[in-house]
Every structure is written in structure tokens, then in C-alpha cells.
Amino acid sequence: MNTPMAGRDTWIPARVDPWDAYVERDPVAWDVITAARRFHRLLQVHMDRALYEMGVSFAQYEVMELLQTHPKLHAGELGRRLRLTRQGVRHLLFMLDRADLVEVWPKSSGRRCVWLTDSGRKRVAHCRWAIGRAEKALNGLPPDDHRRLLELFATYERVLVPPKRYWWLE
């Protein structure tokens, strides 16, 4: 059974327990990857719903949040930090510029420097409030679960961080 998303015409699947597949066998690395991807998608949907009333998507909020902490980044650096293509960054910046939330200069070709406008800074503050409401759903879990999950994330991050390569030894 499918259920509609609030305020959208797209559909999300009804709740399915993802751990049913692991009853008969021990999970492997690919199961961890798919579970992380599934959680990330659910988190993005949750954040998009929270930000819907603010008139921005979670991706647009991520750009504005990054510009709040690192003013006057160029578009290429935004793409690297958010792991987006040039086309994706260009589209996000176009939508944010059209809403007068960011200023992009120069408007033509070349290296584009981006910063938040005053209305963009105000919108970030409103978005933080909206996301704070969404965080309450996760705060309903016990603190020990949060701690255990963060410890597991840290363990997996340490495994996945590539070893430092020294150019002078190559």
C-alpha cells in the first residue's frame, strides 16, 4: 500500500521493515551501504517536508547553510563541498538567485562568487526553526541509541577514510 506525501503529488512506499531480509542470514557490507542510503533518502524526504513551507528544498538549504558558514564561496567550491555536478550547482544557484536568497557575481561566464543576501540570511534562520521541529521526531529516540549510532558512524568513517598519500613519496 502506498501513501501520499503531504503537499506533494508523489508517492512513497508504505512502511516496510528493512530488517526482515536479515532474519535468515548475517548482514554483509552491502547491507550496511543500502541501509545507509535508505536512511539518507528518508532523512532528505523528512527535511524536504519540514522545509516545504519555507519555499526551499533541502538541497537549497544545504547551499545556504554552507554559504552562512563560509561566505563568498565560488560555485565550483560549492559543488566540491556538496558533491554536486556543475549543472546541479548552477540550477540550485539559479533558483536561489531568482528568489533573491543569494547573490551570484558575475552573472555571465567565468568564476562565479556566491554569497547570501539579507533575505537569504533571514530565510536560513527560519529554515533552522523548521528543521528544529523535524528534529523532534529523532529526539524521541533514547539518548543511548543516539550515542550508539554516532559511535558506529565514527567507526565506519574511520574505515572508509582513505590513507593519506604523500606526494613526495610517489
Question: What is the tens place of the pLDDT at every residue in 111-168?
Answer: 678 999 999 999 999 999 999 877 888 888 899 999 999 999 999 999 988 888 887 8
Let me know if residue 5 belongs to a domain. no
Let me know if residue 8 belongs to a domain. no
Let me know if residue 11 belongs to a domain. no
* Domain of 93, in residue numbers: 27-164
Count Cβ atoms within 10 A of the Cβ of residue 137 and give its class: 0-12 exposed, 13-18 middle, 19 or more buried.
Answer: exposed
Let me know if residue 4 belongs to a domain. no
Let me know if residue 109 belongs to a domain. yes
Let me know if residue 1 belongs to a domain. no
Let me know if residue 94 belongs to a domain. yes
Let me know if residue 14 belongs to a domain. no
Residue 52's CATH number: 1.10.10.10
pLDDT of res. 129:
92
Q: Structurally, how many domains does the chain consist of?
A: 1
Q: Long-range CB contacts (< 8 A, 24+ apart) of 96-104?
A: 96/56, 96/60, 96/63, 96/64, 96/120, 99/55, 99/56, 101/56, 101/60, 101/64, 102/63, 102/64, 102/67, 104/75
Is the pTM above the cut of 0.75? Answer: no
Question: What is the tens place of the pLDDT at every residue in 12-53?
Answer: 555 556 556 555 678 888 888 898 999 999 989 999 999 999
